[in-house]
């Protein structure tokens, strides 16, 4: 079970984009990296591949390491560490370390 999942709000805490917030678009589990919307933008030169695709310099999000972001809790609206607890119904779930509320 991962501490950060797709569609979570995160805060970047290290690197050139420190302080920016964004939504996780995808999680690369084996590489321990995330793609966050609007964060870690890079420019790539692209050739036209098929009929109708535009050539030129495009900007896209590059993966960022999971240790450089913190989850923003939906309840207390602060960047928090994530823990795990067993719910009363027996399922394991993520929990906010500041307010103690279940995240999902």
CATH number at residue 32: 2.30.30.30
User: Containing domain of residue 69, as a range?
Assistant: 9-49+56-76
pLDDT digits (tens, 9 = 90+) for 56-80: 999 999 999 999 999 999 999 999 9
Domain presence at residue 20: yes
**Do residues 43 and 58 lie in contact, with contact meaning Cβ atoms separated by under 8 Å?**
yes
Helix, strand, coil % over all residues of the chain, rounded to 5: 5, 45, 50
Domain presence at residue 35: yes
DSSP symbol at 70? E
**Of 104, 80, 33, 10, the residue nearest 94 (C-alpha):** 104
Domain presence at residue 27: yes
Domain presence at residue 104: no
Residue 35's pLDDT band (boundaries 50, 70, 90)?
very high
Query: Which residue is associated with the tokens 């823990």?
Result: 83
């Amino acid at each position: 079970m991962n501490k950060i999942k797709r569609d979570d709000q995160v805060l970047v805490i290290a690197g050139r984009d420190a302080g920016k917030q964004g939504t996780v678009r995808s999680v690369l589990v084996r590489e321990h990296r995330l793609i966050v919307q609007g964060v870690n933008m890079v420019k790539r030169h692209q050739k036209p591949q098929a009929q109708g695709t535009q050539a030129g310099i495009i900007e896209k999000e590059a993966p960022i390491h999971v240790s450089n972001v913190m989850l923003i809790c939906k309840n207390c609206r602060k960047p928090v560490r994530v823990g795990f607890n067993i719910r009363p119904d027996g399922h394991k779930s993520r929990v906010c370390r500041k307010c103690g509320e279940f995240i999902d």
